[in-house]
C-alpha cells in the first residue's frame, strides 16, 4: 500500500486553500428547484469541471433536459486498480426564509461555536458541496504527493438532487457503460456522532399507496342516514387498524417474506452505541417505542419493516362540527422495506387485504406512489471492511456500520441500473441544519473528512 503519511500531511498543510476552493463553490447560488438560478447551476458545474481538470481528471459537462451532470475520469496507478464511482451533488436547497439566516447563505465564513468547534457556514456547506469536496481535496493531495491515484476513479456530480433528480435515471441508462464501476462511493450521509464515523450498509425501501374509499354518491346527513348508510371513514379506520396486531407486527399475508434477522454482532454493535428509546424518542417528546415489541429503536428504524399511515382525510375537518356522513375517505400509507422484501408483492398483498374489507356497495381506488426495494449490503464485504478500518484509523472512535431508516434513491439506482453496490460514507452531523436556515459543516468534518478519504482510497487500492 502507498505510504499515506505525506498525503495526510499535505492535506493538513493545504487546508486553507482547500477551504478557499470550497468557499468559491458555496458562493455559487446553485438552487436547482428555482428556474431563476439555472445559470448558477451551470456555473457550479463549470467550476467543478475546471477544478477536476486541473487535477488531471478528464472532466466534462454533460447536458441533460435539466441541469448538467459533471462526469470525470482518472486512471488508477496500475491498469488493474479497482474502479470506483464517486457520487455527490452540487445543487442546493432554497434559502428562504432568508430572514432566519444569521449570515448571508452564499457568503461562507468560519465561525467559532464554542466547545472547541469551528464551523463553515452557508447553504450547501454540508449538503453536499462540503462533502463532495472532501473527496476532491483528497484526490488533490494524493496527486500532489504521488502524482497518481491508487484507484481508477469516475466522478459523477449531479445538479438536481434537491429537485427530484428527474434527469438521473435516463442519464445512468444512456451512460451505463461509462459509469459502471466495481462499486460506488456516495458522500451524502452523516457520522454517528462527532467522534464516530459511520458507513451505512442497509437502507430501507419504500412502497407508497393511497387508497380512496367511496360509499354513497354524495355526502349524507348523519341524522337522516346515520345507522343505515355505509360510512367510508369507518371502513377506512377498520382497514388501517387491522394493519398491525397487538405485538406491533404487520398483519398482511407474506409481509415478512424476505426479512432476515440482523446478525447478532451487528445488533450488539448497535446496542453499544447507547441510543436508548428514551434518548432517541426523547428528542421529539416521546419515550415509548411503538411498533414491534422487544426490539431496540435502532433495530426498529434500521432493520425492520413498517406500515405507517402518513395521511388520512375524510368528512368535515373545518372549525366546529358538521353532522355529515362523507361520500369518500382516503389515506396515504407507506411501507418501509428491508432485506429482500418485494415491493410489488407487498403492494399486491395490501391491495388484496383492502379489497377484502370493502362492502359490496362501496368501492376503493388505489393510487401508486412509488416503490423501491431495500438496499442491504453485506455487513462484512472486503471493501466495507477496508473502509471501516481506514475510518477507524482517522477518528477518535471506531467506525460503526449502521442502517438507515430512509431510502437514498441514488443507491438503489446504482444497484438496479448499473449492478453495483455503494459504500455510503459521509461526515455530516445531525446538527448541520441541512435544508434549513444557518446550514453549517464542521471544520473538523471537512478536514478529517479529506483525511478519511485519503485513507480509504489507499485502503481500497491496496491488494
Pairing mode, strands 324-325 and 198-203: unpaired
For its own copies, which is the closer residue by CB, 10 or 297? 297
The nearest distance, CB 374 to its own copies, in angstroms, is: 11
Using alpha carbons, select from 77, 101, 65 the residue that is nearest to residue 462: 77
Provide the 8-state DSSP code for 68.
P
Report how far apart the first and last C-alpha atoms of the chain are (Å, whole number).
7
Using alpha carbons, select from 78, 82, 148, 23 the residue that is nearest to residue 446: 23
For its own copies, which is the closer residue by CB, 146 or 332? 332
For its own copies, which is the closer residue by CB, 36 or 288? 288
The nearest distance, CB 220 to its own copies, in angstroms, is: 6
For its own copies, which is the closer residue by CB, 55 or 229? 229
The nearest distance, CB 339 to its own copies, in angstroms, is: 14
- Residues 86, 135: contact at Cβ < 8 Å? yes
Question: DSSP letters along 208-227, please?
Answer: EEEEEEE-SSS-EEHHHHTT
For its own copies, which is the closer residue by CB, 76 or 289? 289
The nearest distance, CB 89 to its own copies, in angstroms, is: 19
Distance in angstroms (rounded) separating the CA atoms of residues 22 and 449: 13
- Residues 287, 277: contact at Cβ < 8 Å? yes
Distance in angstroms (rounded) separating the CA atoms of residues 373 and 412: 8
- Residues 159, 75: contact at Cβ < 8 Å? no
The nearest distance, CB 305 to its own copies, in angstroms, is: 8
The nearest distance, CB 234 to its own copies, in angstroms, is: 6
The nearest distance, CB 188 to its own copies, in angstroms, is: 14
Distance in angstroms (rounded) separating the CA atoms of residues 158 and 167: 9
Look up cell 504527493; give the residue: 145
Look up cell 459537462; give the residue: 61
For its own copies, which is the closer residue by CB, 156 or 230? 230
The nearest distance, CB 397 to its own copies, in angstroms, is: 22
For its own copies, which is the closer residue by CB, 140 or 328? 328
For its own copies, which is the closer residue by CB, 238 or 355? 238
- Residues 324, 315: contact at Cβ < 8 Å? yes
Using alpha carbons, select from 273, 319, 326 the residue that is nearest to residue 296: 273
Amino acid at each position: 500500500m502507498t505510504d499515506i503519511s505525506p498525503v495526510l500531511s499535505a492535506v493538513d498543510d493545504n487546508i486553507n486553500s482547500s477551504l478557499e476552493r470550497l468557499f468559491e463553490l458555496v458562493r455559487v447560488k446553485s438552487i436547482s428547484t428555482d428556474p431563476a438560478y439555472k445559470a448558477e447551476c451551470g456555473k457550479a458545474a463549470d467550476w467543478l469541471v475546471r477544478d477536476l481538470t486541473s487535477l488531471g481528471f478528464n472532466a466534462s459537462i454533460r447536458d441533460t433536459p435539466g441541469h448538467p451532470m459533471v462526469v470525470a475520469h482518472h486512471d488508477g496507478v496500475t491498469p488493474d486498480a479497482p474502479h470506483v464511482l464517486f457520487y455527490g451533488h452540487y445543487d442546493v436547497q432554497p434559502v428562504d426564509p432568508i430572514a432566519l439566516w444569521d449570515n448571508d447563505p452564499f457568503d461562507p465564513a468560519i465561525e467559532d461555536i464554542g466547545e472547541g468547534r469551528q464551523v463553515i457556514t452557508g447553504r450547501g456547506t454540508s449538503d453536499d458541496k462540503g462533502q463532495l469536496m472532501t473527496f476532491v481535496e483528497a484526490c488533490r493531495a494524493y496527486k500532489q504527493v504521488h502524482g497518481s491515484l491508487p484507484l481508477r476513479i469516475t466522478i459523477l456530480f449531479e445538479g438536481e438532487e434537491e429537485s427530484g433528480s428527474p434527469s438521473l435515471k435516463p442519464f445512468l441508462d444512456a451512460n451505463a457503460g461509462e459509469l459502471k464501476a466495481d462499486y460506488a462511493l456516495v458522500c451524502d450521509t452523516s457520522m454517528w456522532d462527532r467522534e464516530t464515523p459511520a458507513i451505512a450498509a442497509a437502507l430501507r425501501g419504500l412502497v407508497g399507496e393511497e387508497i380512496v374509499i367511496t360509499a354513497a354518491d354524495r355526502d349524507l346527513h348523519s341524522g337522516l342516514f346515520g345507522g343505515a348508510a355505509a360510512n367510508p371513514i369507518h371502513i377506512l379506520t377498520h382497514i388501517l387498524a387491522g394493519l398491525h396486531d397487538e405485538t406491533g407486527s404487520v398483519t398482511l399475508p407474506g409481509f415478512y417474506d424476505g426479512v432476515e434477522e440482523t446478525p447478532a454482532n451487528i445488533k450488539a454493535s448497535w446496542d453499544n452505541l447507547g441510543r436508548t428509546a428514551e434518548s432517541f424518542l426523547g428528542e421529539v417528546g416521546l419515550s415509548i417505542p411503538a411498533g414491534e415489541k422487544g426490539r431496540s429503536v435502532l433495530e426498529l428504524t434500521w432493520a425492520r419493516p413498517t406500515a405507517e399511515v402518513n395521511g388520512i382525510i375524510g368528512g368535515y375537518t373545518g372549525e366546529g362540527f358538521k353532522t355529515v356522513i362523507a361520500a369518500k375517505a382516503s389515506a396515504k400509507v407507506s411501507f418501509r422495506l428491508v432485506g429482500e422484501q418485494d415491493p410489488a408483492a407487498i403492494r399486491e398483498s395490501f391491495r388484496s387485504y383492502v379489497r377484502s374489507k370493502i362492502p359490496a356497495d362501496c368501492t376503493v381506488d388505489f393510487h401508486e406512489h412509488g416503490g423501491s426495494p431495500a438496499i442491504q449490503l453485506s455487513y462484512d464485504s472486503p471493501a466495507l471492511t477496508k473502509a471501516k478500518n481506514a475510518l477507524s484509523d482517522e477518528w477518535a472512535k471506531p467506525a460503526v456500520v449502521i442502517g438507515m431508516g430512509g431510502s437514498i434513491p441514488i443507491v438503489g439506482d446504482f444497484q438496479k441500473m448499473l449492478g453495483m453496490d455503494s459504500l455510503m460514507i459521509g461526515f455530516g452531523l445531525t446538527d448541520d441544519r441541512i435544508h434549513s436556515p444557518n446550514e453549517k459543516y464542521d471544520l473538523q468534518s471537512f478536514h478529517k473528512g479529506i483525511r478519511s478519504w485519503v485513507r480509504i482510497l489507499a485502503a481500497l487500492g491496496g491488494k
